[in-house]
Amino acid sequence: MFAHLQQLFRYRALIQSLVARELKARYRGSVLGFFWSFVNPLLLLLVYTFVFTVVLPGAHPPDLQPFALFMFCGILPWTWFSSSLLEASNVLIAGGNLIRKVLFPAEVLPIVTVLAGLVHFCLGLPILAAFLIYYRVPLVPADLVWFPVIVFIQLVLTLGLALLVSALTVHFRDVRDLLSNLLTLWFFATPIIYALSQVPDSVRRLLNLNPFTHLAVSYQEVLFRSGPFAQWPRLLAVGAGSVLVFAIGYFVFDRLRDTLAEEV
């Protein structure tokens, strides 16, 4: 397993090129091109603003203003997370020809998916920054230091799950359908379009078991809420858990590696 991880490092240039290709190919032929990476989250933000300011104006606590921006802090990383996993569930099957005919580490494919998602996430950040400045949200520089840490922890968690999901889908195609529904549930079980403080205590205990809860709350605390970053012990616990998830994901992928070329 560690030998394979090391080997993966040798393929970093390939991963880099594949991520670039992924991004280029995605918008090839569209008029706005790369702009879609900015426009997509913007449109999503508009939709949620519409829902929570026009349709359900009283659904959120009054201390979270502007609420759309609060949601945006969670939606942006969630989009990266969920789209990466959904795409990862399909990536080995879509690249089946490659796996069957060319010798190269198959884990490159789900990794590229997650990294391409990361790039999209990063392209959405300027939009977020623009709104933060526009609404004059007070940012604490000491908290912002935590931001890359949160991103990194999410990256490790997503990579681990993506590896797991991609390898399992090859054997059980139903993982794909299961996953899309699971992700919808997961979305609503994460304090993204509501604040954790709004949730009844009994449910909150449940939500606390969800690792993405702590990631979302961390993003909100660092970017949106004023006051010191109090979430860090839980964040680091999630970080440790993410490393474990990655190890498990990679282990499973490694075990199934030899069967991939046959089953795909």
DSSP state of 55: I
Please say which residue, 205 or 255, places its beta carbon nearer to other proteins.
255
Place of tokens 């006051």: 227
Give me the least distance between CB of 81 and other proteins, in Å please.
Answer: 23
Please say which residue, 179 or 192, places its beta carbon nearer to other proteins.
179
Give me the least distance between CB of 57 and other proteins, in Å please.
Answer: 42
Give me the least distance between CB of 176 and other proteins, in Å please.
Answer: 10
Residue 83 identity:
S
Please say which residue, 171 or 205, places its beta carbon nearer to other proteins.
171
Q: How far is CA 69 from CA 119, 136, 144, in A?
A: 21, 11, 17
Residues engaged in binding other proteins (CB under 8 A):
11, 13-14, 17-18, 21, 24-25, 28-29, 95, 97-104, 171-175, 178, 258, 261-262
d(CA 77, CA 259): 33
Please say which residue, 31 or 55, places its beta carbon nearer to other proteins.
31
Nearest CA among 90, 119, 99 for reference residue 23: 119
Q: How far is CA 24 from CA 13, 28, 42, 74, 196, in A?
A: 16, 6, 20, 26, 38
Tokens of 15: 């991963």
- Radius of gyration in angstroms for the set of CA atoms belonging to the chain, rounded to a whole number: 19
Tokens of 195: 């604040």
d(CA 113, CA 161): 12
Please say which residue, 115 or 217, places its beta carbon nearer to other proteins.
115
Give me the least distance between CB of 136 and other proteins, in Å please.
Answer: 42
Please say which residue, 123 or 261, places its beta carbon nearer to other proteins.
261
Give me the least distance between CB of 16 and other proteins, in Å please.
Answer: 9
Please say which residue, 204 or 257, places its beta carbon nearer to other proteins.
257
Give me the least distance between CB of 128 and other proteins, in Å please.
Answer: 29
Give me the least distance between CB of 7 and other proteins, in Å please.
Answer: 11
Give me the least distance between CB of 4 and other proteins, in Å please.
Answer: 13
Please say which residue, 34 or 104, places its beta carbon nearer to other proteins.
104
Burial of 98 (0-12, 13-18, 19+ CB in 10 A): middle
d(CA 162, CA 142): 32
| Long-range Cβ contacts of 201-204 (<8 Å, 24+ apart) | none
Please check whether residue 130 is in contact with residue 42, taking contact to mean a CB–CB distance below 8 angstroms. Answer: no
Tokens of 4: 């394979």
